[in-house]
Amino acid sequence: MGSIQLKSVRKAFGGVSVINGVDLDIKNGEFAVFVGPSGCGKSTLLRLIAGLEDVTSGEVLIDGKAVTDVGPAQRGLAMVFQSYALYPHMSVRNNIAFALKMAGEKTDVIERKVAKAAATLNLTDYLDRKPRQLSGGQRQRVAIGRAIVREPKAFLFDEPLSNLDASLRVQMRVEIGELHNDLKTTMIYVTHDQVEAMTMADKIVVLDKGSVAQVGTPLELYNRPNGLFVAGFIGSPKMNFIKGPSSERRGAAILGIRPEHVAVSTTAGEWPATVRLAEHLGSDTFVHAEGDGIGPLTLRLEGEAPLKPDQRIFVTPREANIHKFDTNGRRID
Amino acid sequence: MATQQTSAAARVLVAPSVILLFLWMIVPLAMTLYFSSLRYSLLDAENIGFVGFQNYAAFLSDPDFLSALVNTLVLVGSVLVISVGGGILVALLMDQPVFGQNALRLMVIAPFFVMPTVSALVWKNLLMNPDSGLFAWIARSLGMEPVVWFTNHPMMSVVIVVSWEWLPFASLILLTALQSLDEEQKEAAQLDGAGALPYFFYIVLPHIARAITVVILIETIFLLSVFAEIYVTTGGGPGVATTNIPFLVYKEALLNFDVGAASAGGIVAVILANIVAIFLMRIVGRNLEG
Ligand SMILES: Nc1ncnc2c1ncn2[C@@H]1O[C@H](COP(=O)(O)OP(=O)(O)O)[C@@H](O)[C@H]1O
Ligand SMILES: [Mg+2]
């Protein structure tokens, strides 16, 4: 069991409001990702759930029970910190065992649980090492191991992969996903990286300046962003926003079109443009162009597109994939 | 990495200071060694001559030597225990967010800036004086007999004075160490369910172990040569109750005017300090590794 609910949760630090009334419902077993730009309050929200900060007003409920007066250790949640926060003078074994020791478990029970967690995370050979003798990825696993042995109601991850290099990040992303499939425990995962959010989440919570901008599955957010903020944040490369005659003609203040949802021609089309730069990735070509009268455009073309800088092109959006927004930046259907 | 030319140049450039420091150390040491092998009493200055190890034999077989040795170790040991133990407590307190934190810190550190002679005088005349001291006044207002500190508990009194001087140093170093404890580690321990005591013993103490080692090593060096506090308060007495090795050397040199014996005592003190240092490095030095 591990459902988590937030009811109009607010948090202010010395008068500065950081979380402005968040309502949220995370079901048991769900993989929820909090995503948003740096400083939008993701960590603060996670720490409010963990009990490391007190809410200014509102309520946090775990399994339906308010936990406002429950200390962090008693909430039954485990957290994996961005810096891993391993105890540097303890061996890997003792790091993983620490919470169990503090809970007064018997030695043989502790040993069995530590061995099991170590086996799950491929740490068995490293149990007697100190954290500083491990690589970044291994430290990350120890931090996860420390969380697993507690058999928590939910795991809380605060940007756990941001200290790893790109390839290791992809690998750990997969491992955490597999871990979730195995354990089926609720996980809340904080990241500023929308790719991580899209690939891992059952449910994405997009945060903007301390408020929830939109909640939904990755594809819901991709296909039907409810406003300019989410539209611009989810998806890579970013969605193009276009003002002017072509959006007015479609009855919108601003028109959004993803780089992958356009047709490019060298002869005719809706928006004439000049190629600035073409990035050839092999599988795709990202084209940065300057549209006449509508500003910069990013285009994503499949395969090798034979485009060169300063070449004239014509861009036509696919009508079905156009997002329309009103003057307040809200979605129009 | 330095090339051969630059390292040669570096050697030439540091040479003057190295040579100066070397002479600064080696000349007094050599002279002390030389004097320690002479019969050289200022009361009988005509009659100077080589006596080999006689001064050492005399100094080491002096019954006062053994008690001075014990006194030295008791003084160093007690002050270390009090200042490190107390320093940890004070540092933990100072690490809490309280009103007027900075002013408080300054006040705690203040005793360290008071000269040993002055602080000993303050303790002797204003606090521990059995007639006019603060402690005596408190005792009398509670209807108790005032304690005659320096007569009845001489070693304890000296230990108190010296501990008072060194507590701030220990507190300050340990506070710095405490403050460098990673915030996320504190929170991880909190989530792991570590209460105050396990948190202290499993997380805080290992974290500040290195700083404790540094405090112990530095304090030991200075505590082995405590002199002013004893000179000002008890004068090494009653009897030899508070005579430590430095004070014994002083007595030989300036009360008995025996330069030879005092030099021998000085050399013995140097050797002793080295023995203590080796022991300390053995016991606590491994904390400094890695
Ligand atoms: N302990 C604190 N005291 C004051 N302000 C804080 C504190 N913690 C966070 N903040 C502020 O709250 C905002 C959100 O911080 P945070 O939740 O860490 O953002 P994120 O994790 O999304 O990058 C930031 O503006 C930050 O400066
Ligand atoms: Mg953060």
Q: Which of A81, A88, A102 comes nearest B193 by C-beta?
A: A102
**Cβ atoms of residues A42 and A213 within 8 Å:** no
- B198 in A contact zone (CB under 8 Å): yes
CA nearest to B245, candidates B115, B59, B117: B59
Q: What is the pLDDT of residues B173-184, one digit of tens each?
A: 999 999 899 888
Residue B1 has pLDDT above 60, yes or no: no
- Structural domain count, chain B: 1
Residue A129 has pLDDT above 90, yes or no: yes
Q: Does residue B52 come out as left (phi exceeding 0), alpha (psi in the -120 to 50 range) or beta? A: left
In a domain, residue B141? The reply is: yes
Q: Which of A73, A86, A88 comes nearest B191 by C-beta?
A: A73
CA nearest to B96, candidates B175, B167, B154: B175
* Alpha helices (runs of H) in B37-142, residue ranges in sequence order: 54-61, 63-94, 101-109, 116-121, 134-141
Mean pLDDT, chain A, as a whole number?
92
Residue B149 belongs to what domain range? 37-289
**Rg of chain A taking only CA atoms, in angstroms:** 24
Number of Cβ within a 10 Å radius of residue B108: 18
Q: State the greatest distance between any 2 C-alpha atoms of chain B, in Å, as a whole number.
A: 79
Question: Rounded to an integer, what distance in angstroms lies between the CA atom of residue A222 and that of residue A230?
Answer: 9
| Residues in chain B, total | 290
- B203 in A contact zone (CB under 8 Å): yes
Residues A180-205, mean pLDDT to the nearest whole number = 93
Name the β-bridge partners of A11.
Answer: A19
Ligand closest to the CA atom of residue A46? 1
CA nearest to A305, candidates A272, A276, A278: A278
The pLDDT-based confidence of B278 (bands split at 50, 70, 90) is confident
Q: What is the pLDDT of residue B2?
A: 63
Architecture in CATH of A237-325: Beta Barrel (2.40)
Q: What is the pLDDT of residue A126?
A: 92
Residue A121 has pLDDT above 80, yes or no: yes
Q: What is the pLDDT of residue B233?
A: 86
- Closest chain A residue to B206 measured between Cα atoms? A89
Q: What angle do CA A191, A193, A195 make, to 5 degrees?
A: 120
> Across the interface, do A81 and B203 touch by the CB < 8 Å criterion?
no
Q: Looking at domain A4-223, which of 3.30.420.40, 3.40.50.2300, 3.30.470.10, 3.40.50.300 is its CATH number?
A: 3.40.50.300
Mean pLDDT, chain B, as a whole number?
85
ipTM: 0.81
Q: Classify residue B257 by burial, with Cβ atoms within 10 Å: 0-12, 13-18, 19+.
A: middle
Residue B277's domain is classified under what CATH number?
Answer: 1.10.3720.10
Protein residues with CB under 6 Å of any ligand 1 atom: A 13, 18, 36, 38-44
> Across the interface, do B203 and A146 touch by the CB < 8 Å criterion?
no
Which region among A300-314, B159-173, B246-260 has the lowest average model confidence (pLDDT)?
B246-260
Residues of chain B in contact with residue A190, where contact means CB-CB under 8 angstroms, are none
Spatial neighbors of B48 by CB under 8 A, at least 6 apart, are B38, B39, B40
> Across the interface, do B194 and A98 touch by the CB < 8 Å criterion?
yes
Question: Rounded to an integer, what distance in angstroms lies between the CA atom of residue A274 and that of residue A290?
Answer: 5
Residue A267 has pLDDT above 80, yes or no: yes
* Alpha helices (runs of H) in chain B, residue ranges in sequence order: 4-36, 54-61, 63-94, 101-109, 116-121, 134-141, 149-152, 154-179, 183-191, 196-198, 205-223, 228-233, 245-250, 259-284
Ligand closest to the CA atom of residue A45? 1
Q: What is the pLDDT of residues B96-153, one digit of tens each?
A: 877 777 788 888 888 888 888 888 888 888 888 877 888 878 888 888 887 778 888 8
Q: What is the pLDDT of residue B201?
A: 93
Which region among A110-114, A118-122, B49-53 has the lowest average model confidence (pLDDT)?
B49-53
In a domain, residue B180? The reply is: yes
Pairing of strands A31-35, A203-208: parallel
Domain ranges of chain A: 4-223, 237-325
Question: Rounded to an integer, what distance in angstroms lies between the CA atom of residue B82 and that of residue B75?
Answer: 11
Q: What is the pLDDT of residues A56-88, one digit of tens each?
A: 999 999 999 999 889 898 999 999 998 899 999
**Cβ atoms of residues A60 and A5 within 8 Å:** yes
- A87 in B contact zone (CB under 8 Å): yes
Which amino acid is present at B96?
A: Q
- Output DSSP code: residue A319: G
- Output DSSP code: residue A318: -
Residue A311 has pLDDT above 80, yes or no: yes
Residue B95 has pLDDT above 90, yes or no: no
Sheet holding A323-325, edge to edge: A240-242, A254-257, A323-325, A331-332
